[in-house]
Amino acid sequence: MTLLETIGIAAVTLHALLSAIYKSMQAFYARKASGSQPRSKDIDPAALPSVDIIVPCFNEDPAILSACLSSLAGQDYGGKLRIYMVDDGSCNREAILPVHDFYTSDPRFEFLLLSKNVGKRKAQIAAIERSCGDLILNVDSDTSIASDVVTLLVEKMRDSDVGAAMGQLKASNRDKNLLTRLIDMEYWLACNDERAAQARFGAVMCCCGPCAMYRRSALLLLLDQYQTQLYRGKPSDFGEDRHLTILMLSAGFRTEYVPEAIAKTVVPDRMGSYLRQQLRWARSTFRDTLLALPLLPSHNRFLTLDAIHQNIGPLLLAVSSATGITQFILTATVPGWTIIIIASMTMVRCSVAAYRSRQIRFLAFSLHTLINLFMLIPLKGFALLTLSNSDWLSRGSTTDGPAIAESNAASNEAEIVASASPFGGGTSWRFRR
């Protein structure tokens, strides 16, 4: 046996052992956390907390935005509800005017128009500073939520120790092609395995941006840190959901997952878009992992195991894959042990997911292993080497590092001025220096 084979076998065996322990504990805790959500029946609407829904929007497709706003207008929540749609300097503003028009007669809606693209985080803050609800629900402009989502998340937030709660994400365009089907299954696993297990200890590590509710009093305490996040002296403007979640946990609040609160979001339907999204997420995960490390000793040991698996697991898999490929190229021999272990782990994971979800389609998620091995793992390596890059890589955003820095410097002095609404009612709000 060559040194190359020995390294490959050792790496894949360690990965298998780590995954077996982690996945077994994860399945146990996820099962424990997946009970039905209790709901209040006879609560006076006046006693319910007020909720502000914030929808940042940049170059969104009008039909998708319309579906999003329609789902918000259809919420069955009994308390006070306000909806703030923030247009972050969209280039297609004329195309979405009819969508705005449709809701201007609804007193719950208010539209904030930013004169230039400043990024999702600052768009959120513009609405946060304008609104006053007890709870804040962030909904992405390409996401539609079920009619009971606000009610379900508010129920979870009744515990004053909870600073944030997220719903379950699904792909609204799941049936478009094979990639969207795989991503939908990936979301199910991320929510009902990873988040559900973390929620067992009140420490969901990332309340996903498409549907996440925050306690205003907690958010205001963290707003300065959230707004001025830096990495190596440069503004860090993506991964806002993970960063805000870590800040909540650092401040001593619990973060929760509500599987019954269903949100359907548009996922990438092309491999290039998917990989760009994953690159952005990988960078933000690596950046915030260091911030999260001091939190681990104060939580259950499972969360430490979770962090080890999330970061060391891909490294072991990368080593085993690289040595296997190198062995095949140099010696023309097949790394049989590596292939058997990876294939076995894949089938066990997919079978367990099919059983837990009661959906046989999860057996097809084994195809995602090929994407993971040959695309996502190398991409994570590239992300680690380019952590200083803060480009969003999507939707043609023109906001780069220096521009964000200017916006940071100017935002404290920005004047919000009211102007006549171009939509026939209410007030539009613009930032003016």
CATH classification at residue 97: 3.90.550.10
pLDDT tens, N- to C-terminus, the chain (433 residues): 788 899 999 999 999 999 999 999 999 999 865 444 555 555 777 789 999 999 999 999 999 999 999 999 999 999 999 999 999 999 999 999 999 999 999 999 999 999 999 999 999 999 999 999 999 999 999 999 999 999 999 999 999 999 999 999 999 999 999 999 999 999 999 999 999 999 999 999 999 999 999 999 999 999 999 998 877 777 777 789 999 999 999 999 999 999 999 999 999 999 999 999 999 999 999 989 888 999 999 999 999 999 999 999 999 999 999 999 999 999 899 999 999 999 999 999 999 999 999 999 999 999 999 999 999 999 999 999 998 887 765 555 444 333 322 333 333 333 333 333 322 333 334 433 2
pTM: 0.88
Classify residue 69: in a domain, yes or no. yes
Classify residue 296: in a domain, yes or no. no
Classify residue 393: in a domain, yes or no. no
Q: Are 150 and 81 in contact (CB under 8 A)?
A: yes
Separation in Å, CA 343 to CA 14, 144, 190: 15, 36, 20
User: Could you list the residue range(s) of the whole structural domain that residue 263 is in?
Assistant: 45-272
Domain count, the chain: 1
Cα-Cα-Cα-Cα dihedral sign, residues 159, 162, 166, 168? negative
Classify residue 359: in a domain, yes or no. no
Block residue for tokens 């705005």: 100
Classify residue 21: in a domain, yes or no. no
Classify residue 216: in a domain, yes or no. yes
Q: Are 337 and 9 in contact (CB under 8 A)?
A: yes
Classify residue 261: in a domain, yes or no. yes
Classify residue 78: in a domain, yes or no. yes
